[in-house]
Chains A and B, each alone.
Chain A
Amino acid sequence: MAVRKIKTVYDVVCPFCGTLCDDLEVDVVDNKITEVRNGCQIGTKKFFASNPSEHRYKTPLIKVNGSFKEASWDEALDKAADILVKAKRPLLYGFSSTECEAQSKGVELAEILGAILDNTASVCHGPTILAEQDVGVPTSTLGEYKNRADLVIFWGCNPVHAHPRHLSRYSEFVRGYFRKDGRNDRFIVVIDPRNTHTAQIADLFIQVNPSEDYGLLNAIRAILRGVELDEKEVAGVSMENIKELADKVKSCNFGVIFFGMGLTQSLAHHRNIDAAICLTRELNDHTKFLITPMRGHYNVTGANQVFTWITGYPFSIDFSRGYPRYNPGEFSSVELLLKDQVDASLMVSTDPASNFPAASVKNMFKHPLIAIEPHETPTSVNADIILPPAYAGIECEGTAYRMDSIPLRLRKVKDAPNGLLTDREILERLIEKVKEKKGE
């Protein structure tokens, strides 16, 4: 009997959420992942999903008369380039689940095409970025919070579900240099309309009415200034509770607010973050306080970083004039699709058919659609061309940025099946094809 040769890769960075855990151990046998240690449920599943399966594409596919036919890379890329070059206002979207090297190629392609370039921040933490551009942001790295924070507020986020290891690595249970007793050395506050699993293990849970967070933030800020308010209750929270919270945040040694989609995706969007940042800034009159967004996709922060260092803008960028212009709400994907203002789209490692509101998905399907996507998704199944890449962070190396903007090097644990190209290689070859067609 042949001996099974297990290759174990240590210190693997998990390409799922913005926590970017970097302590995974992955066992590989015959180029298949057989075991993942230290990962959360979701991250572990992602590693296993990279093994060949009926859901994973093996070759490029082109839709002919309503059904997919296998194609060579050259043929598929040629067709894709054709679509993009012919379009008057193509949209390049996604980029948050791939490595920074591929993202930079995406910017290059968008510039050559005069396209609109957007990443998934546009539907998650885009409002956070807008608020940061308006009022700045006092923030820090997760290591600081781990070692120093004695008061942690989770506002409109539910890390037990969305960032499963955040609590044990950085914010709640972990022992820090000045927080030797871990959970007992930290006071945890959760502010949410639902008594979430994160709230159920908190020291203080404040149940705020849905979509009314702005009023609550606003009231806390006024109280911290020593203003006596007329109201008895704000956003479903009694004035005593608000005052209690205000005292609590003032009297800690080192506080931090983590916030999520509960603030960015409800009414008031970026103004919630605007107020939360102002509150954080003002709390520094009393003690040390910082704020950090709970970024979703593992490299959405990287997408913002890469787009910014090349174009000056983090997302929703229009290259139609040959130079970058920025305006979320005008050049952001969902709005453009809602108003039916793009005439072709390239989706890079993303599934807008699942993630965008139905009305915008409808318009996306009216025009040619190209998907760079390893898996069968509602987007890829309805695309005209599918370009299957190697899994970034599992089958190829690259850089990714954690939610606190710390770059980490993704590791390769196995080879891509069938010699699939990486996202970066696909975009590079697409750029060549487009240049050829434009006669450059």
Chain B
Amino acid sequence: MERREEMSLENLILLTGRTINQGVALEGGKTTKENVRAAAICTFDHEDFKKLDIISGTPVKVSTDFGEVIVYSTISEEGPHPGIIFIPMGPWANQVVNPDSQSCGTPTYKGMKAKVQVVKDGKVLGALELIKTLIEV
């Protein structure tokens, strides 16, 4: 299990998926603050989070080969999962997922190599602001 030995915050694997908070928030309104709190968040393994030396809620920049996004950080309730980070499905996660489907149609939403950088003064964008950055003028 190489990933557990060579642990570093530059060598993480990003998973995405449904959480109940994200589900509740999006049904309540996709453009709301609740949705930001529920889906613009990256959860870490307890030990990994210690290495970052920050308090829960500090913004972090998650980068993959496919993009980067600034989200809040916190400790996972579904650990331990050393080397794995998790962002709930939604616009934030989708800035950094792998759009390639190997021609089956379904993008690879899970299992991207990722790195995480603490950006204490980073701004976590709302859903609308974030999507606006994708519109070419």
CB of B57 within 8 A of chain A?
no
**How many Å lie between the Cα of A334 and that of B19 in the bound state?**
23
Cβ of A335 < 8 Å from any Cβ of B? yes
Question: By the criterion CB–CB under 8 Å, are A197 and B104 in contact?
Answer: no
User: B91's closest neighbor in chain A, by CB?
Assistant: A354
Is there contact, CB below 8 Å, between A210 and B107?
no
Cβ of A316 to closest chain B Cβ, rounded Å: 6
> In which size bucket is the chain A interface?
35 or more
**What does the 1/0 interface line of B122-137 toward A look like (CB < 8 Å)?**
0000011011101110
B108 neighbours in A (Cβ, 8 Å): 265-267, 269
- The answer to whether B127 touches A124, judged by C-beta atoms less than 8 angstroms apart, is no
User: Per-residue CB proximity of A92-129 to B under 8 Å, as 1/0?
Assistant: 00000000000000000000000000000011101100
Q: Mark A337-363, 1 if CB is under 8 A from B, else 0.
A: 010000000000001011111111110
Residue on A with the closest CB to B88?
A: A161
In the complex, A101→B57 CA distance in Å? Answer: 45
Q: Are B78 and A123 in contact (CB under 8 A)?
A: no
Binary flags per residue of A161-205, CB closer than 8 Å to B gives 1, else 0: 110100000000000000000000000000001111101100000
Q: Is A312 an interface residue (CB 8 A)?
A: no
A378 part of interface (Cβ distance < 8 Å) = yes
**Contact, CB under 8 Å: A329 / B103:** yes
Known: A127-B106, A332-B101, A354-B91. A362 touches B17 (CB 8 A): no
Residues facing B in A42-92 (CB within 8 A) are: 42, 45-46, 48-49, 53, 55
Interface positions, chain B 81-117, Cβ under 8 Å from A, are 81, 84, 86, 89-91, 94-95, 97-99, 101-111
Q: How far is the CB of A51 from chain B (nearest CB, A)?
A: 11
Instruction: Report if A34 contacts B (CB, 8 A).
Output: no
B133, chain A: closest CB distance, angstroms: 9
- Are the C-beta atoms of B29 and A46 separated by less than 8 Å? no
A211 at the interface (CB under 8 A from B): yes
Judged by a CB distance under 8 angstroms, whether A246 is at the interface is no
Chain A residues near B106 (CB, 8 Å)?
122-124, 126-127, 264-265, 269, 328, 332, 334
Residues on B with C-beta less than 8 A from A207 are: 81
Look across to chain A and name the residue whose beta carbon is closest to the beta carbon of B20.
A161
Partner of B107 from the list A42, A334, A366 (CB cut-off 8 Å) is A334
Q: What CA separation (Å) do A123 and B106 show in the bound complex? A: 5
B82 CB to closest chain A CB (Å) equals: 10
Separation of A299 and B94 alpha carbons in the complex (Å): 23
With the chains together, A426 CA to B24 CA distance in Å? Answer: 28
Smallest CB–CB gap between A68 and chain B, Å? 14
Known contacts: A266-B110, A355-B89. The answer to whether A329 contacts B101 by CB under 8 A is yes
Tell me if A262 is interfacial: C-beta within 8 Å of chain B.
yes
Does B50 make an interface contact (CB < 8 A)? no
Q: Which residues of B have CB within 8 Å of A199?
A: 78
Partner of B136, one of A126, A329, A362: A362
B58 in the interface, Cβ–Cβ < 8 Å? no
Docked complex Cα distance between A55 and B27 (Å): 11
Q: Find chain B residues with CB under 8 A from A236 CB.
A: 1
Q: Which chain B residues border A355 with CB–CB below 8 Å?
A: 89-90, 94
Also in contact, A381 and B67, with CB within 8 A (given A122-B106, A197-B78, A356-B94): no
**Further 9 A-B residue pairs, CB within 8 A, beyond A357-B94, A378-B127:** A127-B104, A207-B81, A329-B104, A334-B101, A357-B98, A358-B134, A359-B66, A378-B30, A382-B135
Closest 10 pairs (CB-CB, A-B): A332-B105, A328-B105, A329-B103, A357-B99, A211-B111, A162-B18, A378-B131, A42-B23, A265-B109, A45-B27
Give chain A's interface residues, CB within 8 Å of chain B.
16, 41-42, 45-46, 48-49, 53, 55, 122-124, 126-127, 130, 158, 160-162, 164, 193-197, 199-200, 207, 209-211, 233, 236, 261-262, 264-267, 269-270, 296, 315-316, 328-330, 332, 334-335, 338, 351, 353-362, 365-366, 375-378, 381-382
